[in-house]
């Protein structure tokens, strides 16, 4: 084509644009970070110490480098799936449907725990152990057809799946059954009973997958009204951690290939605020500090609870930015920082060296 000849393809695109028929693909946003910043700006009971955040960024990155902390750490965990196929997606989806509220007011020896592979598992790992044990015993706990069958998937069956080696039951068992029921129905009606189709619908976008989960499943719609803000504040902890777990399990490939994984924030739960407090990055007003130390329950959706979650998200975001400012091009994001901090606080807990208890909120959101 000479310089004098028109570019027919370009002319066609221009014509479509002028006629309003051409739509350029817009990458989605989850809105989680935006809401967290709003609450942080408004917060009076949780604050950040900027110097400590900068120091934490240096320390966290140095430790992650020393430990070669990458997505491989996810699969190296003893109970996480070792396969990389559709059954793995189903396992992770089930796991994150039920990934909430494991804390107990009982002493360690009396709290809910699962015996599996000659070990005693508590907290998040009790969930993973129970799911693996159920599959070993022939219970199709990761099959959405099973969740829909009200004669087969009953509360009594769920009690068997999550049976404890202590007298304490897993918390919120009825709520967990409700999550499975709803998810089974939505998967049947919209996704051919297969969570893999959720991932396909997201078309390689982590943010889009989070939004799909929040849109179609009420049990993933972790958003709450906050005084002074027209839109609800979105935390979307379990929706985001599903995306993160898929990304980490598949090492950013195949089902885990998300071009915008860096849009995922940290997962606003009760452990990360505890860790960030221990590092001096966040601190509490005297009334909130007293309530947390006294292990008083803080109701879901209250100002205190939302400040704890939102300020933790914003804190990790600032740490992430500081790491990248100091180390341009570093392979780091909020997901890896969250995984690292969670592992660290669990080690601190095991050693009996916690500076402050985690806050107590009983809900399905985390």
How do residues 7-41 score in pLDDT, each as one tens digit?
Answer: 655 555 556 655 655 445 578 999 999 999 999 99
Task: Using alpha carbons only, give the angle 120, 125, 127 rounded to the nearest 5 degrees.
Answer: 105
**DSSP conformation letters of 68-136:** T-STHHHHHSTTS----SHHHHHHHHHHHHS------SS-TTTS--EEETTEEE-THHHHHHHHHHHHH
* Residue tagged active-site, from 216, 222, 245, 269: 269
Q: Quote the CA–CA distance of 26 and 21 in Å, as a whole number.
A: 15
Q: The pTM is what?
A: 0.92
Strands (E), the chain: 46-48, 114-116, 119-121, 223-224, 233-234, 282-284
How many Cβ atoms sit within 10 Å of the Cβ of residue 58? 14
- Could you confirm whether 136 is annotated as catalytic? no
Average pLDDT over residues 241-253: 98
pLDDT in tens, 256-294: 999 999 999 999 999 999 999 999 999 999 999 999 999
Average pLDDT of the chain to the nearest whole number: 94
SS3 label, residue 224: strand
Helix (H) or strand (E) holding 202, with range, is: helix 196-202
């Amino acid at each position: 084509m000479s310089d004098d000849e028109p570019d027919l393809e370009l002319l066609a695109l221009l014509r479509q644009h002028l006629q309003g028929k051409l739509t350029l693909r817009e990458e989605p946003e989850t809105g989680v970070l935006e809401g967290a910043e709003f609450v942080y700006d408004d917060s009076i009971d949780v604050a950040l110490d900027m110097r400590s955040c900068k120091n934490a960024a240096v320390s966290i990155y140095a430790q992650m480098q020393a430990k070669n902390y990458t997505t491989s750490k996810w699969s190296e965990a003893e109970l996480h799936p070792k396969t990389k196929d559709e059954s793995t997606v189903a396992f992770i989806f089930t796991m994150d449907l039920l990934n909430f509220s494991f804390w107990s007011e009982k002493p360690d020896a009396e709290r809910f725990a699962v015996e599996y592979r000659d070990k005693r598992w508590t907290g998040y790992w009790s969930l993973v152990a129970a799911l693996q044990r159920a599959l070993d015993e022939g219970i199709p706990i990761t099959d959405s057809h099973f969740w829909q069958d009200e004669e087969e998937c009953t509360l009594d069956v769920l009690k068997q799946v999550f049976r404890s080696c202590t007298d304490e039951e897993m918390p919120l068992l009825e709520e967990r059954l409700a999550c499975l029921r709803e998810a089974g129905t939505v998967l049947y009606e919209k996704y051919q009973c297969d969570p893999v189709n959720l991932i396909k619908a997201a078309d390689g976008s982590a943010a889009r997958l989070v939004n799909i989960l929040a849109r179609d499943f009420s049990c993933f719609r972790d958003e709450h009204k906050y005084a002074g803000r027209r839109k609800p504040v979105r935390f979307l902890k379990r929706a985001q951690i599903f995306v993160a777990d898929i990304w980490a399990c598949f090492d950013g490939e195949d089902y885990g290939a998300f071009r915008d994984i860096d849009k995922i924030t940290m997962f606003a739960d009760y452990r990360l605020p505890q860790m960030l407090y221990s590092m001096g990055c966040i601190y509490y007003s005297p009334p909130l500090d007293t309530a947390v130390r006294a292990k008083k329950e803080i109701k879901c959706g209250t100002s205190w609870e939302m400040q704890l979650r939102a300020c933790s998200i914003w804190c990790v975001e600032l740490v992430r930015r500081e790491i990248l400012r100091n180390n341009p091009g570093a392979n780091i994001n909020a997901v890896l920082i969250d995984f690292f901090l969670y592992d660290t606080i669990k080690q601190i807990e095991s050693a009996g060296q916690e500076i402050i208890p985690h806050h107590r909120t009983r809900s399905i959101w985390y």
